[in-house]
Amino acid sequence: MTTTEPKRTERFEDNDQKPVGYGRMLRKEDPRFVRGKGRYVDDVQLPGMLHLAILRSPMAHARIVSVDTSAAEALPHVHAVVTGTMLADKGLAWMPTLSNDVQSVLATDKVRFQGQEVAFVVADDRYTARDALELIDVEYDPLDPVMDVRKALDEAAPVVRDEIEGKTDNHIFDWETGDAGATEKVFAKADVVVSEDIVYPRVHPAPMETCGAVADYDAVDGRLTLWSTTQAPHAHRTLYALVAGLPEHKIRIISPDIGGGFGGKVPIYPGYVCSIVASLVTGKPVKWMEDRSENLTSTGFARDYVMRGEIAATKEGKILAIRTHVLADHGAFNGVAAPVKYPAGFFGVFTGSYDLEAAYCSMSAVYTNKAPGGVAYACSFRITEAVYLVERMVSRLADELGVDQAQLRLDNFLRPDQFPYTTKTGWVYDSGNYEPTMRKAMEIAGYEQLRREQEQKRARGEIMGIGVSFFTEAVGAGPRKDMDILGLGMADGCELRVHPTGKAVVRLSVQTQGQGHETTFAQIVAEELGIPPADIDVVHGDTDQTPFGLGTYGSRSTPVSGAAAALVSRKVRDKAKLIASGMLEVSIADLEWEKGRFQVAGDPEQSVTIQDIAMRAHGAGDLPEGIEGGLEAQICYNPENLTYPHGAYICVVDIDPGTAHVTVRRFIAVDDCGTRINPMIIEGQVHGGLTDGVGMALMEMIAFDSDGNCLGGSLMDYLIPTALEVPDWETGYTVTPSPHHPIGAKGVGESATVGSPPAIVNAVIDALRPFGVHHADMPLTPSRVWEAMCGNPQPPI
């Protein structure tokens, strides 16, 4: 077996006719995209459609003294100008966030971050709408902003959320996990304790398509159709019903082709609500598309954790315990999209892939005058931060002990016989076999040889580093007993219909933003029923067409909805078996399933295909006693546990001694996501995540100045990797199926985003060891690396 994904060529026209299930299959969705026939929200054109533009606050914290809209209203082709006060009259000035906080739709009392929504204009076209924004006159009374998260809880700090009754500080919540006392005991007896201040700066998912919506309210039948850039159409529908008081059955959310999500399209943003209000007010369809600076300054955002990490070990290198305190900056409104009982997301998996004696985390979350939004950017609900913390600390410990980064991990991994394994913070890892994954990464990398090369280069004064990281993720939220979003259980529905001619349609509650659901879900059904993927249509992203479920984020599609697709297929197969027994006139006990047909045991000549059965199910002939016609089924899958993919990543960097510029020369990623449905798509998911990792580790940051101005508000300032900043990825895999998932699959969409930043940072720190550097924070821009080489690396915030 090869260790890297093969480069293949094949003729794709016939590709999806393969009567197969799993395996490399070209994507069913691609023909429309390469023709420019994708249909994204901004491509929706309705007759009489108007355009909405939003006026945003230039200040981070200020009282609104007055808003004068008269000049804007007087501009020809303007249909409406709406302010916060007008929304307040309708009871719509505030909306709930996904974290049981509220967020202002349009500011009424004061603005709380730069870029906050203040008013909107509806006009005939997008240019006029923008012109009108210029004519709105807002008088602000500036207030001191809270920009430094470390000072947010100072007594003297201005109160961001003074509209909340009785609120006198910026505290949101405290949270802890693990056993403080037991951890303290372990730390007290440990030979070696290392601690480090680690910042995971604020970053932004910045999908290439910004957020937007087209709202079309039909006053006659009271129906609202909303095309919107959402990763969770069903959850959004319920929330709109609750907020706007529209009956849920009269709301249809269509999430058409989505130009990347990465978590940034999970929350409900004020712009969506404004579009709905605008359509209600004008009686016309209304489109809102944010521009890039609006996207970067007001929607999404991720991380923003200031962490103190501590790790305890014996002098022989046995890791004993990890402890951390986190200060979490949630911005002006707590808009985190995470299951309600998990205010810190799944940060609790910061114990990593190691067998510890104890672990403890305490956390305080605070309000600041920065944009709200959530835990977006492919983070698996804060696992990105957790993995970064533990993997930096383990490499920091290796540094302290003078042992190899890879070896220290190999010496401390959970063993295969320990699974299912309950961590010291209560997470039940379903399966894992870490050592072969690590060894495979080392083998692809040529690890020993790289270390020799590094030695030789060091002798010549060149700066080269090798970084290792290993992650275990917890994905596929989640069991409904523990996990809900605003009371909605995190289960997913799936419906499968097999038509008389044996073609099928499968309807999902999750939807793709590029992950290839139209292909992989057809493959899952194909594998279970033996119907060729080309004969299976995958319907998703439309609440009128699909069963209820919570959508695609947190790598949950395969773990939850993928399981649903497999199980609904098995339900159909069970019914098909009953019909087959009638057709073949044998008892069901005598029937065997061969992919695509039932045959009589011992007499395989006697068989009926699934297509024959489908025709019989809908046909005129008799069916066995008690069997209804038709061949379809529906289920709602409630996962028993999360799935726990793992992976080993190795990064090789070179640093220019003159400019301190970091080049990622090689990156090796070995992932284990259990059963592999479509290796080509998995490889693509990994590649994308690795590129995110390079961005976060070396380039990306949403920074602010002390006045609250966002310094990352355009793609000139917020740097995203291009083809020149990333290497040709080297990938490999191992397969450790999930024991509780019907097809043994685990999520993989965010693995590389989670696992790659620590590998890159560990490589840079490894490179800088001769300079006496033990830690430097992301993003490792040339200036920060230079500071580190000069012995003075500054934190980014």
Partner 1 sequence: MQVTMAVNGVEVTREIEGRLLLVHFLRDHLGLTGTHWGCDTSNCGTCVVWLDGEPVKSCTVLAASAGGHEVRTVEGLEHDGELDPIQQGFVECHGLQCGFCTPGMLMTGRALLDRNPHPTDEQVREAISGQICRCTGYATIVRSVQWAAAHPDGAEATEPDVTDSEAVPSGSAS
Pair of tokens at residue 503: 């073609």
Among 325, 548, 714, 774, binds partner 1 (CB under 8 A): 714
Q: Give me the count of residues in the chain.
A: 797
Query: Residue 42 touches which of ligand FES, partner 1, none (CB < 5 to 8 A by kind)?
Result: partner 1
Comparing CB distances to partner 1, the nearer of 343 and 689 is 689
Residue 317 phi, psi dihedral angles, 5° rounding = 100, 25
- Number of helices and strands (H, E) in the chain? 18, 32
Comparing CB distances to partner 1, the nearer of 68 and 125 is 125
Query: Residue 257 touches which of ligand FES, partner 1, none (CB < 5 to 8 A by kind)?
Result: partner 1
Please name the residues in contact with 244: beta carbons below 8 A apart, sequence gap of 6 or more: 92, 273, 276
Asked if 299 is part of the footprint of partner 1 (rule: CB under 8 A), the reply reads no
Comparing CB distances to ligand FES, the nearer of 614 and 752 is 752
Q: How far apart are CA 278 and CA 53, in angstroms?
A: 11
Residue 309 phi, psi dihedral angles, 5° rounding = -105, 140
Among 12, 91, 141, 794, binds partner 1 (CB under 8 A): 12
Q: What is the CA radius of gyration of the chain?
A: 27
Residue whose structure tokens are 């203040």: 118
Q: Please, what is the minimum distance in Å from the beta carbon of residue 432 to partner 1?
A: 10
Report how far apart, in Å, the C-alpha atoms of 408 and of each of 65, 256, 315, 354, 413 are: 60, 47, 12, 10, 9
Pair of tokens at residue 691: 């590129």
State the Cα angle at 204 between 349 and 542, rounded to 5°: 85
State the Cα angle at 414 between 410 and 417, rounded to 5°: 120
Comparing CB distances to ligand FES, the nearer of 156 and 208 is 208
- Where in 78-137 is the site for partner 1 (CB under 8 A)? 125-127
Signed CA dihedral, 281, 282, 286, 289: sign only? negative
b vs e for 358-369, b when ≥16 Cβ sit within 10 Å of the residue's Cβ?
A: bbbbebbbbbbb
Count interface residues toward partner 1 (CB under 8 A).
94
Query: Residue 452 touches which of partner 1, ligand FES, none (CB < 5 to 8 A by kind)?
Result: none
Q: Please, what is the minimum distance in Å from the beta carbon of residue 173 to partner 1?
A: 31
Query: Residue 479 touches which of partner 1, ligand FES, none (CB < 5 to 8 A by kind)?
Result: none
Terminal-residue alpha carbon distance, the chain: 47
Binding characters for ligand FES, 571-590, by CB under 6 A (x = yes)? --------------------
Binding characters for partner 1, 485-514, by CB under 8 A (x = yes)? ----------------------------xx
- Where in 116-135 is the site for ligand FES (CB under 6 A)? none
Question: Is there a cis peptide before residue 500, judged by omega within 30 degrees of 0?
Answer: no
Comparing CB distances to ligand FES, the nearer of 260 and 630 is 260
- The H or E element spanning position 519 is helix 517-529
- Where in 17-56 is the site for partner 1 (CB under 8 A)? 17-18, 20-24, 26-27, 29-40, 42-43, 45
Query: Residue 9 touches which of ligand FES, partner 1, none (CB < 5 to 8 A by kind)?
Result: partner 1
Asked if 630 is part of the footprint of ligand FES (rule: CB under 6 A), the reply reads no
> Under a CB-based contact definition with an 8 Å cutoff, are residues 600 and 593 in contact?
no
> Under a CB-based contact definition with an 8 Å cutoff, are residues 632 and 498 in contact?
yes
Q: Which runs of E-coded beta strand occur in 449-602?
A: 463-472, 484-485, 488-489, 492-498, 504-508, 536-539, 591-594, 597-600
> Under a CB-based contact definition with an 8 Å cutoff, are residues 58 and 113 in contact?
no
Query: Residue 189 touches which of partner 1, ligand FES, none (CB < 5 to 8 A by kind)?
Result: none
Asked if 683 is part of the footprint of partner 1 (rule: CB under 8 A), the reply reads yes
Comparing CB distances to partner 1, the nearer of 176 and 435 is 435
Among 96, 679, 782, 796, binds partner 1 (CB under 8 A): 679
Among 46, 280, 486, 735, binds partner 1 (CB under 8 A): 735
Q: How far apart are CA 99 and CA 373, in angstroms?
A: 10
Comparing CB distances to partner 1, the nearer of 15 and 638 is 15
Binding characters for partner 1, 355-394, by CB under 8 A (x = yes)? ----------------------------------------
Residue 196 phi, psi dihedral angles, 5° rounding = -155, 140
Comparing CB distances to ligand FES, the nearer of 612 and 692 is 692
Signed CA dihedral, 281, 287, 293, 296: sign only? positive
Question: Does residue 596 sit in helix, strand or coil?
Answer: coil
Asked if 188 is part of the footprint of partner 1 (rule: CB under 8 A), the reply reads no
b vs e for 390-423, b when ≥16 Cβ sit within 10 Å of the residue's Cβ?
A: bbbbbbbbbbebeebbbebbbebbbeeeebebeb
Q: Where are the alpha helices (DSSP H) in 418-489?
A: 434-445, 447-459
Asked if 706 is part of the footprint of partner 1 (rule: CB under 8 A), the reply reads no
Binding characters for partner 1, 516-535, by CB under 8 A (x = yes)? x-------------------
Asked if 292 is part of the footprint of partner 1 (rule: CB under 8 A), the reply reads yes
Residue whose structure tokens are 């008690």: 626
CA 752 from centroid of its chain's CA atoms: 11
Q: Please, what is the minimum distance in Å from the beta carbon of residue 434 to ligand FES?
A: 32
Q: How far apart are CA 385 and CA 362, in angstroms?
A: 14
Binding piece for partner 1, criterion CB under 8 A, among 68-76, 158-166, 327-335, 432-440: 432-440
Query: Residue 481 touches which of ligand FES, partner 1, none (CB < 5 to 8 A by kind)?
Result: none
Binding piece for partner 1, criterion CB under 8 A, among 156-164, 277-285, 366-374, 711-719: 711-719
Determine how many CB atoms are found less than 10 A away from the CB of residue 206. 24
Among 479, 684, 782, 795, binds partner 1 (CB under 8 A): 684
Among 1, 156, 188, 459, binds partner 1 (CB under 8 A): 1
Asked if 514 is part of the footprint of ligand FES (rule: CB under 6 A), the reply reads yes
Q: Please, what is the minimum distance in Å from the beta carbon of residue 21 to partner 1?
A: 7
Asked if 703 is part of the footprint of partner 1 (rule: CB under 8 A), the reply reads no
Residue whose structure tokens are 């090789």: 652
Q: How far apart are CA 457 and CA 462, in angstroms?
A: 5
Comparing CB distances to partner 1, the nearer of 52 and 398 is 52
Among 7, 315, 460, 481, binds partner 1 (CB under 8 A): 7
Comparing CB distances to partner 1, the nearer of 264 and 502 is 264
Pair of tokens at residue 169: 């500080």
Residue 482 phi, psi dihedral angles, 5° rounding = -105, -30
* Pairing mode of beta strands 662-672, 646-655: antiparallel
Residue whose structure tokens are 């359509």: 279
- Where in 252-291 is the site for ligand FES (CB under 6 A)? 260
Asked if 681 is part of the footprint of partner 1 (rule: CB under 8 A), the reply reads yes
Comparing CB distances to partner 1, the nearer of 309 and 533 is 533
Asked if 34 is part of the footprint of ligand FES (rule: CB under 6 A), the reply reads no
Residue whose structure tokens are 């605008």: 278
Residue nearest to ligand FES (CB): 208
Q: Please, what is the minimum distance in Å from the beta carbon of residue 227 to partner 1?
A: 13
DSSP conformation class of 561? I
Pair of tokens at residue 33: 């995209």
Asked if 680 is part of the footprint of partner 1 (rule: CB under 8 A), the reply reads yes
Residue 606 phi, psi dihedral angles, 5° rounding = -85, 100
Please name the residues in contact with 83: beta carbons below 8 A apart, sequence gap of 6 or more: 67, 69, 106, 118, 119
- Where in 715-734 is the site for partner 1 (CB under 8 A)? 715-716, 720, 722-724, 726, 728-729, 733-734
Q: Please, what is the minimum distance in Å from the beta carbon of residue 185 to partner 1?
A: 36
- Where in 160-219 is the site for ligand FES (CB under 6 A)? 208
Query: Residue 460 touches which of ligand FES, partner 1, none (CB < 5 to 8 A by kind)?
Result: none
Interface with ligand FES by CB under 6 A: which residues?
208, 260, 514
